[in-house]
Amino acid sequence: MNLQKQAIPDHPIHKMLANRWSPYAFAERAVSDNDLRSLFEAARWAASSYNEQPWRYILATRANPVEFDRLLSCLVEGNQAWARTSPVLALGCTSSRFALNKKLNAAASHDLGLASANLTLEATVRGLVLHQMIGIVPDRARELYRIPDDVLPLTALAIGYAADPDALPEKYRERDLAPRRRKVLAEFVFGGEWELASSLVE
């Protein structure tokens, strides 16, 4: 079975981007420490407002079942159902204020997204898959990991290798098997006024 779901773009894009996807089915195969270090190194070099680098990650692997289950418990129940089979989990957090002057950093969530995008693309290049999720329990994460008040636990990431979705519960299996779909450019690239497609993409 083909475990790779390539995008079919309307215009040429790098194959790394076309190959990236977010499965629910993960193989039991472990991710090497070297690969994990490189994934977070990629996140390290993401762009950020004023080079603040507000992102922080809490990491757990199945090599340490106690810590893995601890992080797993910070996901909502629906995400726990499939994420428990991934070999690696991470919790993405972001500092809401600039370190220098303590002013609100309006770009903090955006910058965490950039870091996780870098991480995701590095994973894709290495033959790994990554599924990001917003469905977490922030208060539980804050309590378990003593996360400061000015840091927002925002996303979770499941990292590993894609597997045959047959073992998944039906609703998740259907999602893994469904074709990939995206809005056309004219739906989100505007010119002149809101919702008026740019002439570039008409």
Gap between the Cα atoms of 24 and 10, Å rounded: 26
Task: Identify the band that residue 202 occupies on the pLDDT scale cut at 50, 70 and 90.
Answer: confident
Cα distances from 82 to residues 26, 59, 77, 86, in angstroms, run: 8, 18, 9, 8
Asked whether residue 198 is assigned to any structural domain, the reply reads no
**pTM of the complete model:** 0.94
Task: Identify the band that residue 1 occupies on the pLDDT scale cut at 50, 70 and 90.
Answer: very low
The arithmetic mean of pLDDT across residues 125-142, rounded, is 97
The arithmetic mean of pLDDT across residues 190-202, rounded, is 95
* Domain range for 128: 15-165
Asked whether residue 95 is assigned to any structural domain, the reply reads yes
Asked whether residue 123 is assigned to any structural domain, the reply reads yes
Asked whether residue 187 is assigned to any structural domain, the reply reads no
Gap between the Cα atoms of 75 and 62, Å rounded: 16
pLDDT in tens, 84-126: 999 999 999 999 999 999 999 999 999 999 999 999 999 999 9
Asked whether residue 33 is assigned to any structural domain, the reply reads yes
CB 87 within 8 A of CB 62: yes
Gap between the Cα atoms of 19 and 146, Å rounded: 37
Task: Supply the CATH number for residue 28's domain.
Answer: 3.40.109.10
pLDDT in tens, 32-90: 999 999 999 999 999 999 999 999 999 999 999 999 999 999 999 999 999 999 999 99
Number of structural domains the chain divides into: 1
Gap between the Cα atoms of 172 and 169, Å rounded: 6
Helix, strand, coil abundance in the chain, percent, nearest 5: 35, 20, 45
